Structure 1
């Protein structure tokens, strides 16, 4: 018996009947030989961690553009927090932690530079629109490895695609990532907003904090417990008495932070940068060589969108400066 087979035997012994078992995966678009050590979902997790798009998340905006300080979240630290919350819930419900972790680690690979401001800008430019969750699935299926993709299992790709709005993921593990994403970003965005001086803990509606908790850790604990205690019979859900104030807290954050003109003042510059990059790289011959395959097979507009969506904040600014800002003459 291989290590993988032993792991899959243990899955059968300890996981819930509602779990996604790795020995019953729907498989990959391109069939591969099984690994002796790792289950298919463990291999997917490792492929995501080692891919270039994952490394670039450390320089992509979560909420605040180019914040001065070492402790603000980036898209990478957000991803890690989502993965930890999701694994806690999956473990408590006896679901597949490896699948849950793989989905969580890959869920934001398609996010643009400059956060949702960059997403809105690309949505205006890209034929057919742009949605980061669809781009995340495209990254693992098509963009990574110079157009080959990571060839992940269907369960992981489905969970990545369904981690936000739209239809629910087919697996409970994917549904866990969806709720964990909300738990993570609302609470860590409150933390970052307090650090930035945009809001304080006292600004949060007391009617909500009395129910959810008076600190980030208390609120996360309340929400995670609610999901674990309420989810049963093949459903992932939160208790209504907790979900209602949580949704109200989310609306508070939109009003106070996500749509705050002071906190988002720099975002008005984003459409100009993204638009000029799209214009430049939309000219034949301007894309880098590693995007040629996608340009040839999927078209120039699609390749330009993939290239810009994959940029970090810093790289996008540097390319804009390189292309459009005159350099000092030096003989």
Structure 2
């Protein structure tokens, strides 16, 4: 076999591990389509996600900080791109399908509201009488229903494997299902009681790696804590020490970047080494074997996970619950609450494209879910501008 034989037309290495998800064995799409002669099904899924309206709006949705607070902080878009990059690296090292991993990574945050988890918490509380709100379920709703560009179907008509991975990349979904996920599962049976493919598990760990790395970087940039304080943390402290030993007297900004690069590398290497060992120990010889296991196979090692919990506890206290961040959290939660209350009472004030659904809705639950879809799709900027324009 030549090197070219092992490549797809876009020069993407093919999956080669027996437990990988192979495009030729896909369970297909809800609405059958003629396959492309030069793109695999998962490449097409990835491309449809990239061209989706919801993906484009991620550029003005933030992680922790609100968009107007600075130009250098991560947005959901930059975060998703970073997750895709990490995911492709790990998937490639494990012999998995990089295209599927990338598609899931790029889609995993599509369902997020404006203002990060603060907006989601506010919308979930408001939607409690109507089935609640869950960003993972909302991502499924977006790709199966709310994106409307194609003549023959609503949504993006993604493959079963991509939908499964979006729905349960964090593990099996048990108990009462979020209503948006229940509606999709009733049509497609995503086998929610099982683990997802190894590619989906890689996307989940890539998310953890990316946000741990960039939250450290953004917290330092925002001066919520100092380099010296960060250097007291496991993983981070040894990284700073290694940089100081190799580059004594390095300019502070470069010193920080070099240290955080090493933190990033430690996490990626740990996942690759640990996951290789777990997969080998499992004896899995197919993606079905991966799904049938009673545990995830793509994980951090126990020692590193213990250290990461210490890092995350520090970030929770010093960043996510920093006084300056809490002040903004309270403000933007009120923005979401005010917009929801206004549109529940003035539903026809929503843009014209929503009116057909509004007229079709028969109940208070229908109306609330339409309003929730509208607000969840807003960017930070648009929600703040709309709140001001409406005088709320």
TM-score (norm 1): 0.90
Aligned to 1:259: 321
Residue by residue, what CA displacement relative to the aligned partner does 1:206-249 show, whole Å, maximum 9, x if unpaired? 35036763322111100110111111325212222212101221
The count of corresponding residues between Structure 1 and Structure 2 is 321
Distance 1:199 1:294, change over 3 A: farther
Distance 1:237 1:209, change over 3 A: closer
Structure 1 residue aligned with 2:198, among 151, 168, 172?
172
Asked if 1 retains the 8 angstrom alpha-carbon contact of 2:236 and 2:260, the reply is: no
CA distance 1:59–1:317, change in 2 (3 Å): same
Match of 1:222 in 2: 266
Larger displacement relative to structure 2 (95-104 or 269-278): 269-278
- Please list, as runs of the form range in 1=range in 2, the aligned pairs for 1:198-237 lying within 5 A after superposition: 198-204=224-230, 206=232, 208-209=234-235, 213-214=239-240, 215-232=259-276, 233=279, 234=284, 235-237=297-299
Structure 2 unmatched runs, 5+: 174-193, 241-258, 285-296
Q: Which residue in the other structure is 2:136 paired with?
A: 133
Corresponding position of 2:355: 292
TM-score normalized with structure 2 length: 0.76
Write out the 4+ residue segments of structure 1 that deviate beyond 6 Å after TM superposition.
10-13
Aligned residues of 1:162 and 1:178 also touching (Cα < 8 A): no
Cα shift at 1:74: 0.7
Q: Following TM superposition, by how much is the alpha carbon of 1:148 offset from its aligned partner in structure 2, in angstroms?
A: 1.2
CA RMSD of aligned residues (A): 2.5
Distance in 2 (CA, whole Å) between partners of 1:210 and 1:148 is: 46
What is the aligned partner in structure 1 of residue 220 from structure 2? 194
Q: CA deviation at 1:204?
A: 2.4
Contact kept, 8 Å, 1:41 with 1:98, in 2: the verdict is: yes
* 2:48 corresponding residue in structure 1: 47
Residues in 2 aligned to 1:280 and 1:262: alpha-carbon distance in whole angstroms: 28
Partner of 1:26: helix, strand, or coil? coil
Map Cα deviations across residues 170-222 of structure 1 (whole Å, 9 max, x no partner): 11000001111011111101101100110122212635036763322111100
Instruction: Provide the residue aligned with 1:314 in structure 2.
Output: 381
Residue 328 of structure 1 is matched in structure 2 by none
**Which of 156, 159, 163 is the aligned partner of 1:157?**
163
Question: 2:218 & 2:350 partners in 1: Cα distance?
Answer: 36
Cα drift, residue 68 of structure 1: 3.8
Structure 1 distance, partners of 2:7, 2:312, is: 43
**1:58-97 matched pairs, under 5 angstroms:** 58-97=59-98
The answer (yes or no) to whether the contact 1:85–1:184 under 8 Å persists in 2 is yes
